[in-house]
C-alpha cells in the first residue's frame, strides 16, 4: 500500500496518529468496532453521546442496556434508529456498557456542533465556473461567474442557457439545495426548446477558454458549441454559437422575459424567434444587453478560508506494532483554501497524489517536493478519482463522471469531458455517486446512493420518474418543510425514483451503460481486484443493520429493495 494514502485521511480529519494503549479498558475495543462510528463521548452526532447513554443506563441498568442494544427502538424521532447489536455477545455488550460509564466520568454534554467548521465560499479571481444546483434549472447546472459579479446559469441536462443575474454572492459551493440568487435574473429564456432540431440533446462537456466554458453538445448528428462572455461597460452578455453537420435553415426560439434587449449579428430576429440560413447557422453571436444598466457596486470581498487545524508534517512513524510492517503513516497539511473533507485519492504513475476535495477542486501533491498544485476546480462534490492510461483523470461528481485533461499543457485542466451522465438526479441531498473503478477490459463501475426522505426533490429533475410510490408533485418541497413532514413517511425511508439509484452501474469502453447489480443503500466504496471481482461497501441504515462489504456479481441483489423498480422483469414482489 502506498504510504501516502492513509496519511491524507488523517490530515483531513485533523487527527494525530493514535498508538494502541496496551492498558486500555477491556470494553474499548468492542466499542470501537461496534459503536464508535455513530457515538462520540460528549456530543450527539449520528447517535446520542456516551454521556447521555450513561445517564439513561447507569450501573444498575446494565441488563436494560443489553436488552436495548439487541432489540433497539426509536427514542428520538429526529435520529435514525440504531441497528440491532444482536450479533455482539452479551459479555461484550456488558464490557461496552462498563466502558461507557468509565469513559464518561466527569464529562458533561456539549451542545451539538459540526465536526468541521462551515466551509465559506472562497475568494477567487473572476471569471470562474461552478457545477451546482440552481433554482429553475436542473440539479446538473453550471454557474458561470463573470467579471464584476455577472452570473449566468447553464443547464447541462437541457443543454441550454437558462438566465443571467447580477451578483456572485450565492451559495454556489453547496449542492444540498439550489443556490440562492442575490437578485432576480435580468434576463431569462422561457421557450420549451431552443433549437428547431428533433431529438434530445446530449451533453458532451466543456472546455475552458480564458477560464470561461465553451459548452459542447449534440442533437442527433448536429454538433453544437456555445461560448458565453460579458462586457461589463455596456452590461452585455454574449453567446457565440458554432454549429456543424446541419443542413438547411435553422430557427432558435429565444422567447424570454426580463429587463434586457436581445440582438443577433446574423439572421432575422422577430418576436423572439431567430431564423438563420444554412450558412448563417454555422457561426453566429447573440447579444443580451441589460436595460438601464448600472455597474454593480463592489460588494464585500469573499473571506479567505482559514486553515483548518491539521497535524503538521511528520516523518514516517517508527511504531513497532504490527501495522508498521506493511505501511507507514504521515500527516500532510492540505491546502488552506479548500474544504478539507476529501472525496477521493489516487496515486499517479509518476508517484504524485491526485486528490479531489468536497469543495470541487482537484489538487496534485508531490511527495518529493512536498507541495500542492491546483489541477481543476468547479466540480460538484467529487467523491472519486482515477488515472486513465493516457494520463487524464476521471472524477466522479454529483451529476456525472467527468474526464479532466490539460490540453494546453499549462498545468491546469481545460477540458471537462462528460464520460457518463446516464443516471437520474432529483436534487435530493442524499444522491451521492461513488467510484469509478476499472476492470482489465476497460469497463468502468459507479455506485449510486438512493434518495432520503430527510428532504424532498427539486421541481426539475434528470431522468424518467418511476410511478411506483408517492406522486412526484408531493415530493417537491420548495422550502415547505411542513408539507413534506406530512408526506415523507409515504415516500419511504429511502427511495429510488429516477434511474438507477441504489445500483452499481457498468460503463463499457464504447459508452454503453447498464445496471450491474441492485439492492444498495449508500454504496460508498467500490473496488475491483486483480481478478476483476467487484467489491462494494454499503452504509448502515434502513434495511442495513451494519455496514457490510460485498463481493458483487452481475445481476445480483444485495438487500435494499428501493432499486428493484429498475430491475427488468421485477414483479413488485420483493421476495421473488
What does the alpha-carbon distance between residue 376 and residue 211 come to, in Å, rounded to a whole number? 11
Which residues pair with residue 222 across a beta bridge?
219
C-beta atoms surrounding 63 within 10 Å: 12
Residues 343/358, Cβ–Cβ less than 8 Å: yes
Is it the case that residue 526 has pLDDT exceeding 80?
A: yes
**Minimum mean pLDDT range among 115-119, 139-143, 170-174:** 115-119
Q: What is the DSSP string of 81-130?
A: PPPP-TTS-HHHHHHHHHHHHHHTTT--PPPP--SSPPPPPPP-PSSEEE
Q: What is the DSSP string of 398-446?
A: SS-EEEEE-TT-SSS--EEEEEE--S-B---TT--EEEEEE-TTS-EEE
What pLDDT sits at residue 350? 94
What does the alpha-carbon distance between residue 473 and residue 475 come to, in Å, rounded to a whole number? 5
Average pLDDT in the 5-13 region?
38
Joined grid coordinates for residue 512: 454503453
Per-residue pLDDT tens digits for 175-205 = 667 777 878 888 999 998 999 999 999 999 9
CA 471 to chain CA centroid, nearest Å: 26
**Minimum mean pLDDT range among 143-157, 161-175, 183-197:** 161-175
Joined grid coordinates for residue 430: 442524499
What pLDDT sits at residue 298? 54
C-beta atoms surrounding 7 within 10 Å: 25
What pLDDT sits at residue 10? 34
Residues 517/445, Cβ–Cβ less than 8 Å: no
* Number of helices followed by number of strands (H, E) in the chain: 7, 32
Average pLDDT in the 23-41 region?
86
What does the alpha-carbon distance between residue 19 and residue 378 come to, in Å, rounded to a whole number? 38
Residue 266 φ/ψ, nearest 5 degrees:
-145, 160
Name the more confident of 14 and 400.
400
Is it the case that residue 327 has pLDDT exceeding 80?
A: no
Joined grid coordinates for residue 192: 420549451
C-beta atoms surrounding 488 within 10 Å: 20
**Nearest residue to 563 (alpha-carbon basis) of 514, 517, 524, 525:** 517
Is it the case that residue 294 has pLDDT exceeding 50?
A: yes
Residue whose grid cell is 453537420: 245
CA 102 to chain CA centroid, nearest Å: 40
Is it the case that residue 119 has pLDDT exceeding 70?
A: no
**Nearest residue to 503 (alpha-carbon basis) of 400, 403, 424, 397:** 424
What pLDDT sits at residue 302? 42
Measured in Å, how far apart are the chain's first and last C-alpha atoms? 42
- Per-residue pLDDT band for 308 (boundaries 50, 70, 90) equals very low
Residues 358/345, Cβ–Cβ less than 8 Å: no
Q: Work out whether strand 268-270 and strand 273-276 pair parallel, antiparallel, or are unpaired.
A: antiparallel
**Nearest residue to 167 (alpha-carbon basis) of 142, 154, 185, 187:** 185
Helix (H, G, I), strand (E, B) or coil at 543: coil
Per-residue pLDDT tens digits for 411-421 = 999 999 999 99
Is it the case that residue 568 has pLDDT exceeding 60?
A: yes
Residues 119/306, Cβ–Cβ less than 8 Å: no
Give the chain's mean pLDDT.
85
What does the alpha-carbon distance between residue 539 and residue 562 come to, in Å, rounded to a whole number? 15
**Nearest residue to 423 (alpha-carbon basis) of 290, 513, 532, 306:** 513
Is it the case that residue 306 has pLDDT exceeding 60?
A: no
User: What pTM, to 2 d.p., does this model score?
Assistant: 0.81
Average pLDDT in the 300-310 region?
40
Per-residue pLDDT tens digits for 210-258 = 999 999 999 999 999 999 987 766 678 899 999 999 999 999 999 998 8
Average pLDDT in the 143-163 region?
89
Q: What is each CA distance from 387 to 12, 370, 395, in whole angstroms?
A: 22, 21, 9
What does the alpha-carbon distance between residue 523 and residue 494 come to, in Å, rounded to a whole number? 13
Is it the case that residue 6 has pLDDT exceeding 70?
A: no
CA atoms within 13 A on the CB side of 153: 31
**Nearest residue to 85 (alpha-carbon basis) of 443, 488, 455, 546:** 546
- Per-residue pLDDT band for 289 (boundaries 50, 70, 90) equals confident
What does the alpha-carbon distance between residue 375 and residue 385 come to, in Å, rounded to a whole number? 13
Is it the case that residue 79 has pLDDT exceeding 90?
A: no
What pLDDT sits at residue 471? 92
Is it the case that residue 309 has pLDDT exceeding 60?
A: no
**Of all residues in the chain, what percent carry a pLDDT higher than 70?**
85
What does the alpha-carbon distance between residue 401 and residue 396 come to, in Å, rounded to a whole number? 5
- Inter-axis angle of helices 62-70 and 90-103, nearest 10: 120
**Of all residues in the chain, what percent carry a pLDDT higher than 90?**
58
**Nearest residue to 351 (alpha-carbon basis) of 364, 333, 361:** 364
Name the more confident of 516 and 150.
516
- Burial class of residue 90, CB neighbours in 10 A (0-12, 13-18, 19+): middle
What pLDDT sits at residue 12? 38
Is it the case that residue 133 has pLDDT exceeding 80?
A: yes
Is it the case that residue 303 has pLDDT exceeding 70?
A: no
Is it the case that residue 318 has pLDDT exceeding 60?
A: no
C-beta atoms surrounding 71 within 10 Å: 10
What does the alpha-carbon distance between residue 345 and residue 501 come to, in Å, rounded to a whole number? 24
- Burial class of residue 223, CB neighbours in 10 A (0-12, 13-18, 19+): middle
Is it the case that residue 147 has pLDDT exceeding 80?
A: no
C-beta atoms surrounding 171 within 10 Å: 14
Joined grid coordinates for residue 17: 496518529
What pLDDT sits at residue 126? 82
What does the alpha-carbon distance between residue 246 and residue 221 come to, in Å, rounded to a whole number? 8
C-beta atoms surrounding 290 within 10 Å: 19
Is it the case that residue 472 has pLDDT exceeding 50?
A: yes
- Burial class of residue 186, CB neighbours in 10 A (0-12, 13-18, 19+): buried
What pLDDT sits at residue 307? 38
What pLDDT sits at residue 1? 35
Name the more confident of 251 and 334.
251
Is it the case that residue 304 has pLDDT exceeding 60?
A: no
Amino acid at each position: 500500500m502506498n504510504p501516502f494514502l492513509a496519511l491524507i485521511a488523517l490530515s483531513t480529519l485533523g487527527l494525530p496518529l493514535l498508538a494502541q494503549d496496551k492498558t486500555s479498558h477491556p470494553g474499548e475495543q468492542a466499542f470501537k468496532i461496534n459503536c464508535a462510528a455513530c457515538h462520540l463521548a460528549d456530543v450527539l452526532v449520528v447517535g446520542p453521546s456516551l454521556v447521555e447513554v450513561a445517564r439513561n443506563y447507569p450501573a444498575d441498568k446494565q441488563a436494560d442496556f443489553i436488552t436495548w442494544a439487541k432489540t433497539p427502538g426509536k427514542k428520538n424521532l429526529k435520529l435514525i434508529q440504531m441497528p440491532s447489536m444482536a450479533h455482539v455477545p452479551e459479555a461484550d455488550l456488558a464490557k461496552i456498557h462498563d466502558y461507557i460509564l468509565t469513559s464518561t466520568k466527569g464529562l458533561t454534554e456539549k451542545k451539538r456542533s459540526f465536526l468541521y467548521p462551515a466551509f465559506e465560499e472562497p475568494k477567487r479571481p473572476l471569471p470562474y465556473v461552478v457545477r451546482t444546483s440552481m433554482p429553475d434549472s436542473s440539479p446538473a447546472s453550471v454557474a458561470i461567474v463573470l467579471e464584476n459579479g455577472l452570473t449566468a446559469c447553464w443547464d447541462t441536462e437541457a443543454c441550454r442557457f437558462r438566465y443571467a443575474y447580477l451578483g456572485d454572492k450565492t451559495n454556489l459551493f453547496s449542492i444540498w439545495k439550489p443556490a440562492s440568487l442575490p437578485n432576480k435574473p435580468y434576463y431569462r429564456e422561457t421557450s420549451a426548446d431552443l433549437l428547431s432540431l428533433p431529438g434530445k440533446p446530449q451533453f458532451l462537456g466543456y472546455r475552458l477558454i480564458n477560464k470561461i466554458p465553451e459548452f459542447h453538445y449534440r442533437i442527433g448528428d448536429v454538433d453544437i458549441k456555445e461560448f458565453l462572455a460579458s462586457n461589463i461597460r455596456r452590461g452585455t452578455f454574449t453567446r457565440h454559437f458554432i454549429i456543424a453537420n446541419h443542413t438547411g435553415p435553422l430557427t432558435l426560439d429565444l422567447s424570454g422575459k426580463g429587463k434586457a434587449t436581445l440582438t443577433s449579428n446574423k439572421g432575422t430576429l422577430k418576436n423572439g424567434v431567430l431564423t438563420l440560413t444554412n450558412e448563417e447557422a454555422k457561426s453566429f453571436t447573440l447579444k443580451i444587453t441589460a436595460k438601464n444598466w448600472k455597474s454593480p457596486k463592489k460588494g464585500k470581498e469573499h473571506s479567505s478560508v482559514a486553515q483548518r487545524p491539521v497535524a503538521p508534517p511528520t516523518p514516517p512513524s517508527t511504531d513497532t506494532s504490527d501495522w508498521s510492517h506493511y505501511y507507514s503513516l504521515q500527516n500532510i497539511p492540505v491546502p488552506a483554501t479548500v474544504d478539507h473533507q476529501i472525496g477521493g485519492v489516487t496515486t499517479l504513475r509518476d508517484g504524485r497524489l491526485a486528490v479531489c476535495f468536497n469543495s470541487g477542486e482537484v489538487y496534485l501533491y508531490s511527495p518529493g517536493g512536498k507541495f500542492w498544485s491546483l489541477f481543476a476546480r468547479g466540480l460538484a462534490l467529487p467523491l472519486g478519482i482515477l488515472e486513465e492510461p493516457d494520463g487524464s483523470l476521471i472524477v466522479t461528481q454529483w451529476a456525472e463522471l467527468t474526464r479532466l485533461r490539460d490540453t494546453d499543457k499549462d498545468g491546469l485542466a481545460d477540458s471537462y469531458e462528460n464520460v457518463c451522465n446516464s443516471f437520474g438526479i432529483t436534487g435530493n441531498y442524499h444522491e451521492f455517486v461513488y467510484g469509478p473503478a476499472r476492470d482489465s477490459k476497460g469497463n468502468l463501475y459507479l455506485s449510486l446512493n438512493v434518495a432520503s426522505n430527510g428532504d424532498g426533490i427539486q421541481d426539475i429533475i434528470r431522468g424518467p420518474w418511476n410511478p411506483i410510490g408517492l406522486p412526484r408533485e408531493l415530493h417537491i418541497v420548495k422550502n415547505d418543510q411542513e408539507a413534506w413532514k406530512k408526506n415523507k413517511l409515504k415516500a419511504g425511508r429511502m427511495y429510488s425514483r429516477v434511474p438507477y439509484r441504489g445500483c452499481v452501474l457498468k460503463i463499457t469502453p464504447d459508452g454503453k451503460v447498464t445496471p450491474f447489480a441492485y439492492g444498495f443503500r449508500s454504496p460508498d466504496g467500490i473496488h475491483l481486484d486483480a481478478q476483476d471481482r467487484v467489491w462494494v461497501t454499503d452504509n448502515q441504515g434502513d434495511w442495513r443493520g451494519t455496514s457490510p462489504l460485498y463481493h458483487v456479481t452481475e445481476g445480483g441483489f444485495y438487500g435494499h429493495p428501493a432499486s428493484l423498480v429498475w430491475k427488468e422483469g421485477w414483479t413488485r414482489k420483493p421476495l421473488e
